[in-house]
Structure 1
């Protein structure tokens, strides 16, 4: 369960920097469970979490892993990163930008990720930022890997949401959408993507 200080910290950080946090409330248990569902039940998977916040999804990833594998949580906000380290000492927390994922894995001597789970506020990013992060994710995933990310349903028809859906399709061969979770504050759904597309070498490379 989340500590009593986590919701308050989430709201405070949202009010201070809404463009970075993206939403005033942490992800619900139902959505968190959906996002963590692709984590294998056996073996020692490498799971990467992007935009871990105060740990709503982190908790479900840890539950799914049950002490197995390696869980790398990337969080750019220093307050959230500190809370994560206190609450989840078994999690490898990196205070960094999600676009640095390949470098973070290399620094730790880790291989390709089996699952990447994201709670990043995609529609608040520029198209260039979103595509850059997705490229970093695809470059860091195993061929059999899965990528899941939350998207707020109320903004699904907005230009930013459409651009992100297009970027997902350009990055992965298969993209599916979950049902809408109406009780998540605010309502949301989950994209699940598989089979990163091979990046063609640029001219002259």
Structure 2
């Protein structure tokens, strides 16, 4: 089943109305934002984990950018979005799980090359952000990357030092103006 734009927008609006602090945006990620996130994923054979799959805009872009379905795991906390993602991408493993408990959901020997985070870290409680970032450290292989986007596009904000990410090295930071609202994509390496 492929969801049309109208169905996807309604689904997103319904979830936002139910839990705006959890969804963290007023509309789904644009194609340009999703494509930029996907282009930041390194080539390789290790797993790519998408956190906060939502309606699947980034999942679609990851697949379009060449991430194989056997290399991709989508993690989503909303049961509604999980059902939607499983229907839209039947060949992609979609886990109904919390990013703050990620290491407990994955095999110990899993080689994770990249985490693509669509989580609204700036709107989550600091304790929860610290737990999520700690999970990144536990599951990423040495040299693995985290690709995070934020709606805070001010240049004087240091995303890497926010949320206890001081041991991550910023590789790139780009603003995607063709998104509502505009977003900054930050790629960090552990």
Normalised TM-score (structure 2) = 0.88
CA distance in 2, matches of 1:67, 1:192: 21
Inter-CA distance 72–168: structure 2 relative to 1 (3 Å threshold):
same
Please give the secondary structure, in 1, of the residue aligned with 2:72.
strand
Q: Aligned Cα RMSD in Å? A: 2.4
CA distances 1:127-156 after superposition (whole Å, capped 9, x unpaired): 1111110110111001121110110036x5
Does structure 1 conserve the Cα–Cα contact (< 8 Å) formed by 2:46 and 2:111?
Answer: no
Does structure 1 conserve the Cα–Cα contact (< 8 Å) formed by 2:27 and 2:180?
Answer: yes
Please give the secondary structure, in 1, of the residue aligned with 2:162.
helix
Please give the secondary structure, in 2, of the residue aligned with 1:7.
helix
CA distances 1:158-189 after superposition (whole Å, capped 9, x unpaired): xxx768743354241x1144232122011111
Match of 1:34 in 2: 36
1:184 to 167, 179, 182: 179
Number of equivalences? 188
Match of 2:162 in 1: 166
Q: Unaligned 5+ residue runs, structure 1?
A: 196-205
Does structure 2 conserve the Cα–Cα contact (< 8 Å) formed by 1:44 and 1:69?
Answer: no
Match of 1:97 in 2: 98
Does structure 2 conserve the Cα–Cα contact (< 8 Å) formed by 1:122 and 1:164?
Answer: no
Match of 1:7 in 2: 9
Q: Does 1:140 align with 2:139?
A: yes
| Displacement of 1:88 | 0.5
| Displacement of 1:90 | 1.3
Please give the secondary structure, in 2, of the residue aligned with 1:186.
coil
CA distance in 2, matches of 1:15, 1:131: 26
Q: Unaligned 5+ residue runs, structure 2?
A: none
Further displaced range: 68-77 or 175-184: 175-184
CA distance in 1, matches of 2:132, 2:160: 11
Inter-CA distance 93–58: structure 2 relative to 1 (3 Å threshold):
same
CA distance in 2, matches of 1:2, 1:149: 25
Please give the secondary structure, in 2, of the residue aligned with 1:179.
strand
Match of 1:52 in 2: 53
Please give the secondary structure, in 2, of the residue aligned with 1:170.
coil
